[in-house]
Amino acid sequence: MQTCKTKIMGVLNANEDSFFKESRFDIKEASFKIEKMIENGANIIDIGAVSSKPGSIEVDEKVELERLKNIVDTIYKERYFEKIDFSIDSYSPLVIDYVLNKGFKIVNDITGLANDEVCKISAKYNAKVIIMHMQNKPSNMQEKPEYKNVVLDIDEYFKKQIQKAKSFGIKDIALDVGIGFGKTLEHNLLLLNKLEYFKHFGYELLIGASRKSMIDMITPCEIKDRLPGTLAIHLESVNRGASIIRCHDVYEHYQALKVQEAINSIS
Backbone Cα Rg of the chain: 17
Length of the chain: 267
Query: Can you tell me the distance from the alpha carbon of 161 to that of 159, in angstroms, rounded to the nearest whole number?
Result: 6
* Rounded-to-integer distance, Cα 169 and Cα 154, Å: 22
Q: Which of 33, 67, 212, 226 is catalytic?
A: 212
Q: Where are the domains of the chain?
A: 7-260
How far apart CA 73 and CA 115 sit, in angstroms, is 25
Q: Taking 90 as the threshold, does the pLDDT of residue 22 lie above it?
A: no
C-alpha span between 145 and 141 (Å, rounded) = 7
Catalytic residue among 67, 183, 226, 246: 246
Q: Could you tell me which residues are beta bridge partners of residue 87?
A: 46, 106
pLDDT tens sequence across 81-139: 999 999 999 999 999 999 999 999 999 999 999 999 999 999 999 999 999 999 977 76
Query: What is the pTM for the complete model shown?
Result: 0.93
Note if 194 is an active site residue. Answer: no
- CATH code reported for the domain at 7-260: 3.20.20.20
Nearest to 72 by CA among 56, 92, 52: 92
Query: Does the annotation count 212 as an active-site position?
Result: yes
